[in-house]
Amino acid sequence: MICRFRINYKMEIRLNRSFLVVLIAGLLAIPTDIPFSWPSPELPKLYSNNTSINPLGRSITESEDAWIGSLLFLGAIIGPFPCGYIAEKFGRKPALLVTAAPLSISFFTLAFSKNINLMYFARAIAGFALGASYAILPLYIAEIAENHDRGALTQILNIFWAIGNCLSYSFAPFVSYKLFNLIAAVIPTAFLVLFFLLAPETPYFLARGKDDAKIRQSLMLLRRNPSQTQITAEIKEIQKQIDNEENGDLMDIFKYPNLQKAFLISSVLLASQELSGVGSITTYLQLIFEASDSKMSSEMCSVISSVCIFFASIVSPFIVDRQGRRLLILGSLFGLFVSLFAIGGFFYIKDFTTWATDSISWIPLASLILYIFAYNFGISSVPWTICAEVFPNNQRQNATMIISIICWSISFFVTNFFNKMNNLIGMAGSFWMYSGFCLLAGIFSLFCVPETKGKSFEEIQEIIKSRSLFRYGFYKTKK
């Protein structure tokens, strides 16, 4: 597979160009996900009284700990609004370019700040970029992909999100606080340059302007060795779908049955992400390992966890367009339920009984490895793929914005109140509560989530309009 660059930055590709564009977009996904897991290796440093590793020069309080972890999600609530507006009015590409700058600013601020309020600011603007990126990146990829590889290309994002987590878990514990943040700041800068030069606007957004020449140019860049006949046929299909849609009003999502069903499906799936406790677990992973009294060091446990994250993210793209979205979601939620229930049981025995836990000290690590694998295997990214698929083009951005706000609001409360919940009901109660949410989400997914594998946006809309909500789960893909 060879890519030859000309001086004018146009490319002669012997490779699916949309795949290359997704790889470039992945450079935004990496620093977008680093802030998720950033507190896990950095909070122990900030709790330390050793001024050589703690830039604050003092140990943080439990309240400051909670705000460092949760302000990310408060910023993420705001991010979809301005960047969603840019995506709708000026295009998906400019919106993604705008999201990269706050990430660089955030990491540079963290690298040099010696004040807790500056850390709060840096975490909040990283959250702004996080909320915008999660809303727009899956949308961008869904609109540049062909029907048969849309799921796999969207799932590739999961690999880059996993790389971000891996950097935090396996690299940050062993380097200085400043060095890690400086390295993280370079990645979104590289994305800005490459994405600006090489990535096209999506043909679906360009179709709104009725400019066939621009749509053709975009598709010629995205498709592998396309004929003019194929390009013309795809333009007609895209334009037909756009022409059949009226201008989308935000409140239409709550007026029309097909949009209500799509909104409910997407909201429940994305809420289940956060109610599985992922925000608090990724934030406090290293501290959770320390609380479990594991015989292995918390740093090494985090490294093992990062390997599982990466492995799961590599496997899922090969399954999502072969076995479908539903299988990944159901398998993922089942794994989350089992792992959370098991670790809750361990902490119940440790904290509320007199039984010795030496013989079962392996359970926290094994359970959290299963949790991390199960989460990254499916529920991490598949709901975002489905969210980008089940809405018509004129409502896709509006719906994604609203659902993102719901998603990040839940994550803010889950993370901010994690320590308070542990003090109230114990770690066992917290993990069992997350386990119960995963069980409920699995039941909902079994009966209510349709299979969208290999279908065009138009075909998916026909399924949404023609079927009762509780029949989606039994919809079979026609062969």
12, β-bridge pairs = 4
Domains of the chain by start residue, with CATH:
9-474 (1.20.1250.20)
Q: In angstroms, rounded to a whole number, what is the distance separating the alpha carbons of residues 153 and 22?
A: 7
13, β-bridge pairs = 3
Q: Decide: residue 270, CB within 10 A, 0-12 exposed, 13-18 middle, 19+ buried.
A: buried
- DSSP letter at 391 equals S
Q: In angstroms, rounded to a whole number, what is the distance separating the alpha carbons of residues 8 and 22?
A: 21
pLDDT of 475 reads: 45
Residues in CB range of 90: below 8 A, 6 or more apart: none
If we measure between CA atoms, which residue out of 335, 431, 429, 432 comes closest to residue 378?
335
C-alpha distances (whole Å) from 112 to each of 6, 129, 387 are 40, 20, 38
Cβ atoms of 267 and 332 within 8 Å: the answer is no
Q: Which two tokens stand for residue 20?
A: 């290359």
- DSSP readout, 111-144? HH--SHHHHHHHHHHHHHHHHHHHHHHHHHHHHH
pLDDT of 162 reads: 83
Q: In angstroms, rounded to a whole number, what is the distance separating the alpha carbons of residues 322 and 131?
A: 29
Q: In angstroms, rounded to a whole number, what is the distance separating the alpha carbons of residues 241 and 223?
A: 20
Q: In angstroms, rounded to a whole number, what is the distance separating the alpha carbons of residues 184 and 164?
A: 9
Phi, psi of 11 (to 5 degrees): -125, 140
11, β-bridge pairs = 5
pLDDT of 468 reads: 62
Q: Mean pLDDT by 10-residue block, N- to C-terminus, for the chain (479 residues)?
A: 35 57 90 89 89 90 89 90 88 93 94 93 94 87 80 78 86 91 94 92 84 82 77 80 66 81 90 89 80 75 80 72 79 94 93 84 87 84 82 79 86 86 90 95 90 79 72 47
Taking CA 317 as the corner, what is the angle to CA 312 and CA 322, rounded to the nearest 5 degrees? Answer: 120
Q: Which two tokens stand for residue 198?
A: 């090489």
Q: Which two tokens stand for residue 69?
A: 């972890």
Q: Which two tokens stand for residue 356?
A: 């010795």
Q: Decide: residue 218, CB within 10 A, 0-12 exposed, 13-18 middle, 19+ buried.
A: buried
Place of tokens 């003092």: 58
pLDDT of 476 reads: 47
Question: Global pTM?
Answer: 0.75
3, β-bridge pairs = 13
